Amino acid sequence: MKDLYLNRLISLALTLELLSLLNGSESRAEPVCPIKLIPESVVVKYGSPISVSCRNTTSVEEIYWTTGPEVVNDTTWSVLELLDWDIRPGCKATFQGIGRCSKPLHITVYKTPDSVSISVLRHSGPMVEGTQYQLQCDIQNIAPLQNLVVKWYKGNEPLDNVTYSTVSTTPVDVSDTLMISPSRDDDGAQYRCRAELDLGPAGPQHRVTSEPLSITVHYKPCINASRLPVRIPVFRGYPEELVCEAEGYPQPRIKWVYDPAKHVSEAGGNLTVFEAGLYNCTATNDVATSFIVVEVVLNEDYLPLIAGFVAFMVVVISVIFVFIYSIYYKNTKMGRYSLKKAKLSSTPNGNVAQNGGRDTPLPMTKLSQPNINF
């Protein structure tokens, strides 16, 4: 029981201590200063006029403005031409029952850049495909730095956004860089950089964009392999045209390399070959050289042999057909004759016989009897 009673006393003592601490902290908290600034924050361009009012929300004994050591005994602070980059104005007042309190004015003084330009660092002239280059955006005389956003574009495509954490209220020169590795599709592309001051929803949105930087991209030749395979058959006695086409910038120069002893005909980058061998097509421009070695292999043309054999067989078959037909024709067109039952006609010579009752006369030759001497 004693222990329980002791624990209750300790808990009560702790509770009273906490309540006293809370009451003490509340009593030491600063009262809210009943000053209202209209507007509460200001974004102003360097050299422009500014005017801010200070209003009290309760009984006031004294109210005035301070800007450093300067005191303005008025509820309105006005400047015709703001030329101070680090000005810190505030409204102060003395209230009944509260005493003196103050409220600072949140002011941002800005300046748009004098110029924004873009260039290529340590390079001039055309770019080469696949090579890295560094673009630089130079922004002259801008403030404040912590509100600056640098944006990069290729055409209308956004590439990068850069912000700055360094605080600087006075104008500075800023340079930002961007690495690019152009391809042949980027030939003629335009790059731009833009300086924007992000002054918040209440502030104006100022954007200054550089003139576009147009780039020229050179790339090495690429030979059209679909028009020029590495192995081509050619038939004996028939020419074959080898077509060498190459894409590149600048326009590639086409050159054929082959054995001078070969029988060829070259015209307009194309090569007409008549025999087997190795033929090298080379495409060259200011960037690089590309080549394809074509192997021309000789194939025998059996078509004339086949055509000759077919013609020979046609002749042989025709001869056989004519021979067989002639034999058949003779057998069917010539009649068979018989002298059986032939009747002698009553011709003077008695030399005509009847052919099977037909009226066709058959000439008969009378045989002379030989003289027989005994």
For residue 148, give its domain range. Answer: 115-215
Contact (Cβ atoms closer than 8 angstroms) between residue 334 and residue 341:
no
CA distance 37 to 225: 77
Q: Are residues 54 and 70 in the same domain?
A: yes
Q: Does any domain span residue 12?
A: no
Most confident by average pLDDT, 171-185, 260-274, 333-347: 171-185
Q: Which of 67, 82, 110 is the last residue of a domain?
A: 110
Q: Does any domain span residue 27?
A: no
Backbone angles phi, psi at 171, to 5 degrees: -65, 145
- What is the pLDDT, as a whole number, of residue 355? 47
Q: Are residues 188 and 124 in the same domain?
A: yes
Q: How many CB atoms lie within 10 A of CB 276?
A: 15
Q: Which of 195, 215, 235 is the last residue of a domain?
A: 215
In three-state secondary structure terms, 32 is coil
Domain count of the chain? 3
Question: What's the token pair of residue 265?
Answer: 């005909």
Mean pLDDT score, 65-73:
87
pTM assigned to the model: 0.66
Q: Does any domain span residue 339?
A: no
- Supply the CATH number for residue 72's domain: 2.60.40.10
**Predicted confidence (pLDDT) per residue in 290-323, tens digit:** 999 999 988 765 566 677 777 778 888 888 877 7
Q: Which of 110, 144, 172 is the last residue of a domain?
A: 110
The percentage of the chain sitting over the pLDDT mark of 90, rounded to a whole number, equals 49
Q: Are residues 105 and 123 in the same domain?
A: no
CA distance 359 to 374: 44
Q: Does any domain span residue 227?
A: yes
Mean pLDDT score, 318-346:
64
CA distance 89 to 79: 11
Average pLDDT, the chain: 82
Q: Does any domain span residue 328?
A: no
> For the chain, how many residues are written?
374
Which residue has better confidence, 361 or 221?
Answer: 221
pLDDT above 50 (res 89): yes
